[in-house]
Amino acid sequence: MSSDRYPFREIETKWQRIWDERKQFRAVEDPRRPKFYCLEMFPYPSGRIHMGHVRVYAIGDLLARFKRMRGFNVLHPMGWDAFGLPAENAAIEHGVHPAIWTYENIDNMRAQLKKMGISYDWEREITTCDPAYYKWEQLIFIKMLERGLAYRRRSTVNWCPSCQTVLANEQVEGGRCWRCDSEVTLREIDGWFFKITAYADELLAWCDRLPGWPERVITMQRNWIGRSEGAEFDLPVAGRPELKVRVFTTRPDTAFGMTYAVLAPEHPRVDQLVTDEAERRAVADFRAEVARHTEIERLAADRPKHGLRLRAKVVNPFNGAEIPLFIADYVLMGYGTGAIMAVPGEDQRDWEFAKQYGLPIIETVKRPPGWVGEAYGGDGVKINSGFLDGLTVDEAKRKAIDWLVARGLGVAKVNYRLRDWGISRQRYWGAPIPVLYCEKDGMVPEDEKNLPVVLPRDVQLSGKGGSPLAEVASFVNATCPKCGGRARRETDTMDTFVESSWYFLRYCSPKYDKGMFERDAAEYWMPVDQYIGGIEHAVLHLLYARFYTKVLRDLGMVKVDEPFTALLSQGMVIKDGAKMSKSKGNVVDPDDLIRTLGADTARLFSLFAAPPEKDLDWNDHGVEGASRFLNRVWRFVITHGNELRAMAMEMGGATRPPQSPPSTLGAATGPQSPPSALRPTTEAGVAFRRTIHETIAKATQDIERDFHFNTAISAVMELVNALYAFEAASHDGMPAAERAALLREAVETTLLLLGPIAPHLTEELWSQLGHTESLFTRPWPEADPRALVKNEVTLVVQVDGKVRSRLQIAVGTPEERIQRLALADDRVQPWVRERAVERVVVVANRLVNIVTRA
Ligand SMILES: [Zn+2]
Ligand SMILES: [Zn+2]
């Protein structure tokens, strides 16, 4: 089987070397040329690339090479998201330093990626654990601190007991750690935050202005930001009017139905409300119980709610009623004010809680006739609501807010589900937070001229307890940049999502040492025109990167509002019905595949097997099929090489034969020009040329407009079938020159269209045809409109509005002749023979309409 396989190993190594030597994919800013910034999400250097990587990089490379051929100045870089936990865990497990582990992994993965022949500008490679990289985010941290966009506070955080670190809400999935799947618990901890909520409105507004993003990603971002409008107002504590509980509600119109109120168990006001030691103990026990559950569980609709009734009561300001006050697990501190007015008539969770604790339920919206159910969340006329009675829900909302504002009791308020981004990690392998704590001055940012605050190498990693940096005396004990006295360094490191929030900017000028990036370069390249990465980053990374870009814009550093114009979220690679993973034993190693069938086959298969946004189901037959197809292309060109070269020479001497024989892989020489002005004289020639140009039109549209790479590849496969068929047919009467010229046009078109998909094979065959310039410096082929013109069209013939026949006629046939042909047609005759024809209407290239007199 493998005996007739083309020499992919030799070819792939050869062209990777030549591209590298020519620095062919080096990107240089050139304001005269339109730019295209093509970016795949950079990988974490785990040590091995997997098929998911192969897929996403094959997609990115197809687009990068395609856009180059379309005349764009393309930036296509690669780097490493190099900080993070696995390095630290490997250090604990195997005793190897995270830096050594990380850089070794990078070397391995770079070598693997180079074997795939991706057209990266490797001179722009970046590694985020390099102090020359994270220095700049430390600088931005200080600027954010100055502007109140970075701040420190005590908070309840998600804590992964296994990773021993804080997790952002976005990193908790179903109550479990996104990384290690351990159950997440809550903890009180001091930590650093980025004030992403200050940008909530803008992040939301721009969701409507990103047409190049998949709708489902936009929806996930909108939901995550979670904007809701309502009112915030105070409930005075009965008998202690100086104490108030502030609540947020999206339904101020239901205030007359408030039969109790609820505080989040962790609400600080609770401690002021408890009356004695017994109640204090009960509250403490209740809090301990709640802390055993995650926010996700606490919010689950189907879960029984738990509450503790406090002795204190509060007053409903709308009607003066004293109502019970609870702490309950279904109210969270992080949303709104951490306290709610409970309206069981119109809120299902309140309804369930009221039923459970025997609390009254008042309906404040008239139910529609025949309505049976529990809480009613729909529209209707207000009842039992004092001055709001008779209004609609919307009218009542507005009037209730006006009432609160007029009395100074409350305000209209917009709330967001989005919370500030907790960036502190009690881990070693991350960028140090550039802050010190001085005995005299308190918290002081590091002086900019002392940056970077370098992560120390010498550290003990046990995986237990707090930040490992706290144990490194030489790091912790430092000098206060303000007073020169003794100060203690912050030992938390930054969330690695900070590094990935701006790496795309660093690629614009990766070696620049006077700032985060060179302004002109960033202005030229940004925004990223096409970003490609997994749907798992729909919220996490993409929202942070959008936020960080806006912060940099407001610091006057970039001009763009958004970092990514278009986003392609590729599906997963699955095998035997599950995502490829070591634990499932269904992993296909890209290295094995590249070794046995070649990188081009791996790339072709991963682009052909499914549209990019769908999951790709791995199957060995498909891989074999991809390999067979490439062999078929190879065989044709090698078999007909002499003929193709000779003909090209004869047709005007545009192409000289290669100086080295085609069977060897030495560099060929000779200028070239595609036979684009070809005008076939025979019917078969015209038809074949139409196939060639229809393929160009289809492939171009599929790639450029729809990302339907699989159907583009299908079209090229059909062209190759047509090529074999054309070559095998006798074509009596076709001039030899026409035949050869068509063969050459078909072959060159095939190679050009296939180039971005299987770059090594096509580049080699291209050079074997006698071209000295790289295939990837050639323009993408244009469909010749003359070739697309059909000689014949099919006309529908109707008699009195009913289809009776179809006519095949030559394009350009005079109308009068068409009328005659239609009337004489065998299948039309029976319908017109007995009647008088009143008129015959010809709609060009479409139909003939015969109208008879009834
Ligand atoms: Zn974990
Ligand atoms: Zn000081």
| 206 burial via Cβ count (<10 Å: 0-12, 13-18, 19+) | middle
Per-residue pLDDT band at 295 (split at 50, 70, 90): low
Between 49-63, 129-143, 177-191, 606-620, the lowest mean confidence (pLDDT) is in 177-191
pTM of the model: 0.81
Ligand number nearest CA of 444 is 2
Q: How far is CA 542 from the centre of its chain?
A: 7
Please, which pLDDT band fits residue 662 given cuts at 50, 70 and 90? very low
Tokens (6 digits) for 64: 């990068």
Ligand 1 center to 160 CA (angstroms): 5
Among 21-25, 373-377, 561-565, the range scoring the smallest mean pLDDT is 373-377
pLDDT greater than 50 at residue 671: no
Per-residue pLDDT at 304: 83
DSSP, collapsed to helix, strand or coil, labels residue 611 as: coil
What is the DSSP code (8-state) at residue 702? I
Is residue 535 within 8 A of residue 217, CB to CB? The reply is yes
Most confident of 459-473, 549-563, 674-688: 549-563
Contacts of 412-415 with C-beta under 8 Å, sequence gap 24+, read 412/229, 412/230, 412/231, 413/229, 413/230, 413/231, 413/232, 413/248, 414/227, 414/228, 414/229, 414/230, 415/227, 415/228, 415/229, 415/230, 415/248, 415/250, 415/335, 415/336
Share of residues in the chain with pLDDT > 70 (%): 94
DSSP designation for 212: B
Please list, in sequence order, all residues whose beta carbon lies within 8 angstroms of the beta carbon of residue 318, skipping any fewer than 6 positions away: 255, 256, 258, 386, 400, 403
Ligand 2 mean position, distance from CA 440 (Å): 5
Give the confidence band of 652 by pLDDT, cuts at 50, 70, 90: very low
SS3 194: strand
Q: What digits encode the pLDDT tens for the residues 374-411? A: 999 999 999 999 999 999 999 999 999 999 999 999 99
Q: From ligand 1's centre to the CA of 437, what distance in Å?
A: 29
Q: How far, in Å, from the CA of 458 to the mean position of ligand 1?
A: 25
Residue in 151, 174, 119 with CA at minimum distance from that of residue 296: 174
Of 128-132, 164-168, 415-419, 826-830, the poorest mean pLDDT is in 164-168
Ligand 1 mean position to 297 CA, how many Å?
Answer: 18
Task: Output the pLDDT for position 676.
Answer: 54
Q: Which ligand gives the minimal distance to the CA of 436?
A: 2
Spell out which residues have Cβ within 5 A of ligand 1, the ion.
160, 162-163, 177, 179-180, 182
**Average pLDDT value for residue range 36-42:** 98
Nearest-ligand number for the alpha carbon of 177: 1
Distance of CA 579 to the CA centre of its chain: 18
Q: How confident is the model at residue 674 (pLDDT cuts 50, 70, 90)?
A: very low
Cα 136 to ligand 2 centre (Å): 24
Please give the pLDDT value at position 426: 87
Helical (H) or strand (E) element with 201: helix 200-206
| pLDDT tens by residue, 75-128 | 999 999 999 988 988 888 888 999 999 999 999 999 999 999 999 999 999 999
Centre of ligand 2 from the C-alpha of residue 155, in Å: 26
The band of 649, judged by pLDDT with boundaries at 50, 70 and 90, is: low
Ligand found nearest the CA of 485: 2
**Secondary structure class of 157 (helix, strand, coil):** strand
CA of 485 to the centre of ligand 2 (A): 5
Tell me what the pLDDT averaged over the chain comes to. 91
- Quote the CA–CA distance of 709 and 700 in Å, as a whole number: 10
DSSP assignment string, 379-396: --BB-S-GGGTTSBHHHH
Ligand nearest 159 Cα, by number? 1
pLDDT in tens, 720-766: 999 999 999 988 889 988 999 999 999 999 999 999 999 999 999 99
